[in-house]
Chains A and B, each alone.
Chain A
Amino acid sequence: MSEKKIHEDQKYVDGLLQNNSFIIQAIYDKFVPKVVNYIKQNSGDADQAQDVIQETIFTIYNQAKEKGLQLTCPFDAYFFLLCKRKWLNTLKKKNNKEVTINEAVLSKDDDAQELVFETALFEEKQALFNEMFQKLGAACKDLIKATFKIKSMEEVAKSLGVTYAYARKKKSLCIGQLTKLVQESPKFNQLNY
C-alpha cells in the first residue's frame, strides 16, 4: 500500500475527515447520481439508495479516521464499487435467494477492487465489534468507556473507586473478553484473521 502513489482524489477523503461540507456536497453532486441510477436499475428506489450512500460515506470516514485510509485509485470507482457491494448485500439479506444483477457497470481497476475489499472488511469488523460490545457486562462497558474517554488510568481508577492496578488489569481482561466474543461469533471466519 505505502509504495503506491496516492491518487489526487485523496482530497475527498481528507475533506470527509475535516467534515468539510463543500467536499461532502461535491461527492453528492459528482458521484452519487451514478450510484442512485445503479440501485434503481437493480430493484431499489431512491430512499434505499440514500441509505446505502450515507452508510458508505460514513464507513469511508471511519476508515480514514481510524486507519488513515489512503486512496490509490479514483474516488469515483472506489465509491461506486463500495456502494454496489453494500447494495448487493442488502438484496441478499432481504431476499435470501439469488438476485439477478445488471453487471454492465464493473470496474476493471485492480487498485479500486483491492481498496474496496479492505474497506468492506473494515466495515464488517466494525459491525461485529459493535455488536459484541453490546453483549459485554455493564461493568466492562463502563470501564472501557471511561478508559478511552479519560486518558489517564489513574483518574479512571479514582472515578470508579478501584485501585490503579485493578483498573489496568480489568481493562485488559474486558477487551480480552470482547475479543473472545468476536472470535466465537460465526461471522469471525469471514474477517481474515
Chain B
Amino acid sequence: MEDQNYIVFDQYLQGELAAEELIAFEARLKSDARFETAFKLYKDVSSHLQHKIENETETHAFRENLKNISNTHFNKIKTPLEAPKKPKVFRLGQLAIAASVVILLGLFMFNQFSNPVYSDYNTHEPMTVIRGADGMEAVMEATKAFNSADYIKANDLLRDGT
C-alpha cells in the first residue's frame, strides 16, 4: 500500500499522471490527511535530494568561498585582541633586566664594603706648625718626618722638642 503511494507520488511530481488519475489523486490529498502528510514529506525529501545532489559542485564552491571570507574576517577580529598582550610581555622582560642589574649592583656594593680594613680609615690631616714658636727646628723636622709617614722619628723629635 505504502509502496504504491510512493510510486504515485513520484508519477505526480514528474507530471506523468493521466487526467483521471490526477483528479483522483488531488481529491485524495484533500480528503485523506495522512495521505497528504505522506505526500508533502515525499515532495520535500525529493526536493531536498534534488537540490543537494544537483548543486553539489556549486554548493561546495560557495562553502569554500564562505569559509575563506569568514576566516579572514575572524583573524582580523582575533588579532587586535591579542596584540596588547605583546608589549606587556616586553615590559615584563625589561623589568626583569632592571631588577637583575639592581641586584648585581647591590651585591657588588655589599661585597665592597662588608670587609672593612685598616687602610679604609687610615687617613691623616697634614700636621700644621705655628711659625715663630720655640724649638722650631725640631718641630719642622718632626713635621717633615710625620708627613713622610715616619711616625717613630716624628714622635722622638716631638718628645725631644717639648
Contacts and interface: CB of A to CB of B under 8 A. Distances in A.
A89 interface: no
B54 A149 contact: yes
Nearest to B8: A172
Nearest to A178: B45
Interface residues on A, range: 35 or more
Contact of B73 (A28, A129, A148): A28
7 contacts: A28-B70, A125-B44, A148-B49, A149-B53, A175-B10, A180-B2, A193-B40
A62 interface: yes
A36 B49 contact: no
A173 interface: yes
Contact of A176 (B5, B49, B63): B5
Interface of A: 16, 19, 21, 24-25, 28-29, 32, 36, 46-47, 49-50, 53-54, 57-58, 61-62, 65-66, 125-126, 129-130, 133, 144-145, 148-149, 168-169, 171-173, 175-176, 178-180, 182-183, 193
B159 interface: no
A140 to B, nearest CB: 11
Contact of B37 (A29, A36, A125, A193): A193
A129 B78 contact: no
Contacts of B9: 172, 176
B155 interface: no
The B interface, classified by DSSP as helix, strand, loop or mixed, is helix
B1 to A, nearest CB: 11
Contacts of B20: none
Contact of B48 (A24, A29, A129): A129
A24 B65 contact: yes
Contacts of B151: none
B41 A182 contact: yes
Given A24-B69, A66-B51, A169-B7, A46 B41 contact: no
Contacts of A193: 37, 40-41
Contacts of B5: 176
Contact of B62 (A19, A46, A148, A169): A19
B70 A148 contact: no
